[in-house]
Amino acid sequence: MPSLEIVPEFPPSGGFTSAVKSSCSLLRQRANISIEPESIRRLLFSPAFLTSFRRVSKSHGLVFPLNFPSILSELNFLSIVCLLNFASGYRVPLHLQTGRGAWDNIRAFSFSLYLTSSTGEGDLLSARGMQNIGEQKVAELMGVNVHVERPHDEIPGVTVGELRGPIYDLVKLVSATLTETGQVLQENGYTDLGSFVLEALKDGEVSQRVNGTGAGLNTTLEKLVRAIPAFRDMAVVDGQPVYCFKKALLLIYAVTIRFGAGRSPTLPIPDISQTPIFTDNVIPSMLVHLGVVDLSNASHALSSIFPEANSAEKLNALLGEAPTKDASEVKLPPIEGPILIPDQAYILRAAAVDACELIVQYARSLDPTFLTSYQGKDLSWIKDIKVPDLNTWLWAGAKDRTDYRELERFVLRDTAFF
């Protein structure tokens, strides 16, 4: 699996969650990226936010049309979906081949893994099956072509297929992630990823009971990140460690969505009230387009990557009510956004983590009396918005409106972290 040359030490034990928030805030400020209270207020009281937040923030996409034989089986499947929740850098080539984006392709591939494993062809969702899956099987189950045609060197009019191109690069990333994770699980005596995650959740439950609020999330997150390389979403940028842990945090959140609220009394449910966002390429890009993250004076050549983001006319349209949907509209493939290097991507992702923390802090500071009578409406619910719901609103909202779907998202290739 490709990795950055410099990898930081793990955060101090018991401080993984706080390390995400503090390192991202520091990196955002050092990169001279602005997040002003006026911009946050403009978003919170915009028609776009007020008319869609409570609906879209529940569109998490974590309901699967599968019949699981047990809670552990579903937990294992959910864990693998979160482990593979990347490929954003291959959104455009995936659309061109399959007509679907990164998330939908990963979901479809995960369904294929499950269904193939249920037909007696070998349990690809076990640790051993993950370790042995291979690139050919991954390409087959993803339903993609990993060959690129080129003219024959010596015979005119004849083409030959070579294993190369962006889709082949993605297949190699998926295969390497599964193989590496399966190997780690087997070496440590786990039959599948779900069994390991269950143990991490149980450890978190004990820690929560002994140490109080936030301890369970920290303990579970730390166990996931220390054990599984594909969860070690961290880097050193300009000498400063930055921690994101997007997929591990997503997995913990997914457990609460699928099994919380009494749906599984036997499964430990973590308290996610202090979780940061699960930062990818969508959320930072959306926050720039919606005027919250200001790159005007940003370092690392980031100030010009979204040239239309500072347009008042564009911003007013994006913060207004959603345009009327045209039933006859032809859905076009997305346009490739600016292609970044790892340092740039980590800076933007860090800015998004900090921005969402600041948005929720600002919302909670609002005067309740003002909110209950705002333009004749009761907006008291704004004080109660939570970071995970804000995360989902930004992520799902990017696909909820036609004009939002057309917005460019930055691209980072060769990463298995988002």
153 has pLDDT over 80: no
- What is the distance, to the nearest Å, from the Cα of residue 158 to the centroid of all Cα atoms in its chain? 42
Boundaries of every domain in the chain: 16-322+333-405
Residues 57/392, Cβ–Cβ less than 8 Å: yes
Residue 15: what pLDDT? 96
Give, for 148, the enclosing helix (H) or strand (E): strand 147-151
Q: Which residues pair with 294 in a beta bridge?
A: 34
Confidence of residue 259 (pLDDT cuts 50, 70, 90): very high
Cβ neighbours around 217 below 10 Å, total: 24
The candidate with the shortest Cα–Cα distance to 221, out of 243, 190, 242, 236, is 243
Report residue 237: phi and psi, to 5°: -120, 120
2 has pLDDT over 80: no
Q: What is the DSSP letter of 372?
A: H
Give, for 85, the enclosing helix (H) or strand (E): none
64 has pLDDT over 80: yes
> Cα separation of 317 and 108, whole Å?
34
Torsion of the alpha carbons at 184, 187, 190 and 192, rounded to the nearest 10:
40
Pairing of strands 234-237, 147-151: unpaired
Structure tokens at 322: 């959603």
The rounded mean pLDDT for the chain is 93
Q: What is the DSSP letter of 393?
A: H
Residue 289: what pLDDT? 98
159 has pLDDT over 80: no
Confidence of residue 300 (pLDDT cuts 50, 70, 90): very high
Q: Counting Cβ atoms within 10 Å, is residue 92 exposed (0-12), middle (13-18) or buried (19+)?
A: middle
The candidate with the shortest Cα–Cα distance to 91, out of 411, 417, 402, 414, is 411
Confidence of residue 121 (pLDDT cuts 50, 70, 90): low
Structure tokens at 12: 């101090």
> Cα separation of 395 and 399, whole Å?
8
317 has pLDDT over 90: yes
88 has pLDDT over 70: yes
Instruction: Evaluate the CA torsion angle 61, 62, 63, 65 in order and state its sign.
Output: positive
219 has pLDDT over 90: yes
DSSP 327-341: TT---PPPPP--B--
- Segment 328-385, tens digit of pLDDT: 667 777 889 999 999 999 999 999 999 999 999 999 999 999 999 898 899 999 999 9
Residues 58/278, Cβ–Cβ less than 8 Å: no
Pick from 25-34, 163-172, 275-284, 320-329: least confident: 320-329
Long-range contacts of 139-148 (CB under 8 A, 24+ apart): 139/168, 139/171, 141/109, 141/112, 141/113, 141/116, 142/105, 142/108, 142/109, 142/112, 142/171, 142/174, 143/98, 143/108, 143/112, 144/94, 144/97, 144/98, 144/170, 144/171, 145/97, 146/171
Residue 120: what pLDDT? 64
Q: Higher confidence at residue 321 or residue 264?
A: 321
Give, for 184, the enclosing helix (H) or strand (E): helix 166-187
Angstrom distances, CA of residue 23 to CA of 262, 286, 346, 353: 35, 21, 11, 10
Confidence of residue 149 (pLDDT cuts 50, 70, 90): confident
Residue type, 60: H
Helix (H, G, I), strand (E, B), or coil: what is residue 162?
strand
Residue 1: what pLDDT? 39
Specify the residue for token string 């955002």: 28
48 has pLDDT over 80: yes
